[in-house]
Structure 1
């Protein structure tokens, strides 16, 4: 069965997209999302393992205005010092393409994909963002040098949130 945090992430993704209906069956559970008049309605159903099990409806929060969705990113404490570095217009921001959890390495005992000062190419993998149990490798997109790492290992990241600053070659 999906955890409440996973359901919240799915709701955010659907809310930010143009999708009107969404259904997912996984691990003995079923989730249906549907947008009605600007408000997402979510129904989560567990597959009955005993005769008395019943569907549990969940009302999702009302959609948030895009300005409110983007606002939380700058309030994170680790990003505050990096905000001053962002003023350098020559730096390229590598951003998160999705909501998920940032990991600097492929496993806890593995070496980080990149460190501050490392040279990267457009195809270099710089990190992993986990979303709904899928591990997505994030590429640099540009050739250059990592100037700043803006997030901590294991931190929840939002769509479009800057992860790295790169000085392009």
Structure 2
């Protein structure tokens, strides 16, 4: 199975290319990525019904309400991020490498990996994003200080959605 960093690189390469669809199969695992209206959708082979529904809605351009939901979510997040960015334009965003559920700690009774004011290194684990019962540890990839946590524990996150704002050192 591919590591999270390798999947991130594949997503970036597909996103930057003119490829509309990419499929990767290895040792019984399958990763399928499709671009729809400029959005890259990562669709693993065996999906639970709850995850399959949003992918089907994104693939079908007919329903009008489906595109409105992501737009509203972006509008709600934009003012929060913009207010912090106006204070310091040198902030780095740690984004979600996949669609899944955000977890701030390794278990429900444990403390969060990081919070506002936490010092981190490139190798620091900042959170977990669960996708299809796989818990993917997300590394900071930058050394600095967490300025703001942009999502709540247990919240669903999209690919590329900002999770943390970091003041790099």
* TM-score category, normalised to shorter length: 0.5 to 0.7
Residue of structure 1 equivalent to 2:126: 126
Deviation at 1:60, TM superposition (A): 3.0
- TM-score, L = length of structure 1: 0.60
Runs of 4+ in 1 over 6 A off after TM superposition: none
What is the distance in 2 between the residues matched to 1:74 and 1:124?
27
Q: Summarize the alignment of residues 15-54 of structure 1 with structure 2, pairs less than 5 Å apart.
A: 18-19=21-22
What is the distance in 2 between the residues matched to 1:99 and 1:80?
22
Q: 1:105 to 1:72 in 2, by over 3 A?
A: same
More helix by share: 2
Q: 1:62 to 1:160 in 2, by over 3 A?
A: closer
1:63 and 2:66 aligned: no
Q: Deviations over 1:10-39 (max 9, x none)?
A: xxx9xx8713699xx9xxxxxxx9x9xx9x
What is the distance in 1 between the residues matched to 2:131 and 2:23?
21
Q: Deviations over 1:12-71 (max 9, x none)?
A: x9xx8713699xx9xxxxxxx9x9xx9xxxxx9xxxxxxxxxxxxx99336278xx5963
What is the distance in 1 between the residues matched to 2:143 and 2:108?
27
Aligned-residue CA RMSD in angstroms?
3.5
For the pair shown, the structure with the greater C-alpha radius of gyration is 1
Q: Deviations over 1:137-159 (max 9, x none)?
A: 00001000000000000000000
Residue of structure 2 equivalent to 1:89: 89
What is the distance in 1 between the residues matched to 2:117 and 2:58?
43
What is the distance in 2 between the residues matched to 1:155 and 1:164?
14
Residue of structure 2 equivalent to 1:160: 160
Deviation at 1:84, TM superposition (A): 1.3
Tell me the matched-pair count: 122
What is the distance in 2 between the residues matched to 1:102 and 1:125?
13
Instruction: Check the 8 A contact 1:120/1:142 in 2, yes or no.
Output: yes
Residue of structure 2 equivalent to 1:138: 138
What is the distance in 2 between the residues matched to 1:21 and 1:130?
20
More strand by share: 1
* Structure 1 segments unaligned to the other structure (5+ residues): 1-12, 26-32, 39-43, 45-57
